[in-house]
Amino acid sequence: MNLPARIGTTSSRPQSALSRALVHLPESALAEPVIRLATDIARRQRTHLRGLTIVDMKNLSEAASSCEGAAYAVYEFRRIELAHFRRKRVRASFSDACLRSGLDFDLRAMQGETIDVLATEARYHDLLLAAIATDAHAGPGEWTPAGIVDLALRATSPVLALRADNHAHGRVLMVDDGTQAAGQAISSFLNQRIFTKATIRLLAVQSSESEAKALMRQSVDYVGSRIDGFETGFVVGCSEKIVPAFASGWEADLVVLGAQRRSLVRNLLFGETVRNILGKAACSLYLSR
């Protein structure tokens, strides 16, 4: 199945399909790069931004149920008070950044299980911006690799997952493994025109050289109708092993991947691909299903 059949047949170069973006505001040092990227996109695309902070009631309930003794109760009270202060501060930072840039925006504070809230809110937006933790411990509002996989598989909009140690986004690797989700991810990324000045490489991944070359030729026709001056290539092997190594060797700043709901085994392999990419390369992710 060729790429245009998976993601559309028009050859005209579209305007940006990015009118509304949802920004999950982390209550940590990652807030600054997330806000900076969101406002930069909104300035260029005239995108409406919605900043969102979430009080995760599941975590609060678990903490309350395990609370034993007055000393622990005081500790939990202070922790909740500090979290409230952090949310207030990041909301002010987001509002100030949007006002300085003259952007159309709004702010919401919600309660509930974080992934459920975001999956629901994403239905009304064209893009969801989130922050990936740079180590094994995720701070408030940050996502672990496993968490970002679950979010991408549930959200109806593409997820742009940002790493704090990667601000450039000058080298974008678009991965086409022949699946519907990969085609949709490439289509969404090109249509949203997020990083128009980036060097883009289209990478076809298949189990044999002949299949990889055939897929690459088909993909090139579609991508060439959307942008000029992109690089191409193909690799043979399993995505979960090949793509992370290629992303690291090519020094990708952003990897575009399809997140397709499939069998449990296939979902686990997709999660392994994401974890390996984040482990081998200091890059952000654009995930779409």
What digits encode the pLDDT tens for the residues 248-282? 899 999 999 987 655 544 555 566 777 777 776 67
Is residue 59 pLDDT above 70, yes or no? Answer: no
- Quick one: DSSP state of residue 165? T
Q: Give me the pLDDT at residue 268, please.
A: 57
Q: Give me the pLDDT at residue 265, please.
A: 46
Greater model confidence, 206 or 277:
206
Q: How far apart are CA 166 and CA 131, in angstroms?
A: 11
Q: Give me the pLDDT at residue 10, please.
A: 43
Q: What is the overall mean pLDDT for the chain? A: 83
Greater model confidence, 199 or 81:
199
Greater model confidence, 130 or 59:
130
Burial 63-77 (b: 16+ CB within 10 A, else e): eeeeeeeeeeeeeee
Is residue 39 pLDDT above 90, yes or no? Answer: yes
At 48 the three-state DSSP class reads strand
Q: Do residues 159 and 130 lie in contact, with contact meaning Cβ atoms separated by under 8 Å?
A: yes
What letter represents residue 56's amino acid? D
Q: Give me the pLDDT at residue 174, please.
A: 96
Radius of gyration of the chain (CA): 20
What letter represents residue 216's amino acid? M
What percentage of residues in the chain have a pLDDT greater than 90?
A: 54
pLDDT confidence tier of residue 70, bands split at 50, 70 and 90: low
Is residue 121 pLDDT above 80, yes or no? Answer: yes
Q: Do residues 230 and 200 lie in contact, with contact meaning Cβ atoms separated by under 8 Å?
A: yes
Is residue 8 pLDDT above 50, yes or no? Answer: no
Q: How many residues does the chain have?
A: 289
Q: How far apart are CA 57 and CA 53, in angstroms?
A: 13
Q: Do residues 180 and 258 lie in contact, with contact meaning Cβ atoms separated by under 8 Å?
A: yes
Greater model confidence, 189 or 4:
189
Instruction: Provide CB contacts within 8 A for 212, sequence distance 6+.
Output: 204, 205, 206, 234, 235, 236
The closest of 44, 45, 278 to 166, measured between CA atoms, is 278
The closest of 239, 257, 91, 102 to 173, measured between CA atoms, is 257
Q: Do residues 50 and 122 lie in contact, with contact meaning Cβ atoms separated by under 8 Å?
A: no
**Segment 156-185, tens digit of pLDDT:** 999 999 986 666 789 999 999 988 889 999
**Segment 74-103, tens digit of pLDDT:** 555 566 676 778 899 999 999 999 999 999
What percentage of residues in the chain have a pLDDT greater than 70?
A: 78
Is residue 6 pLDDT above 60, yes or no? Answer: no
Give me the domains of the chain, ranges plus CATH numbers.
26-163 (3.40.50.620), 165-288 (3.40.50.620)
Q: Give me the pLDDT at residue 147, please.
A: 87
Q: Give me the pLDDT at residue 5, please.
A: 46
**Consecutive H or E run containing 176:** strand 171-176
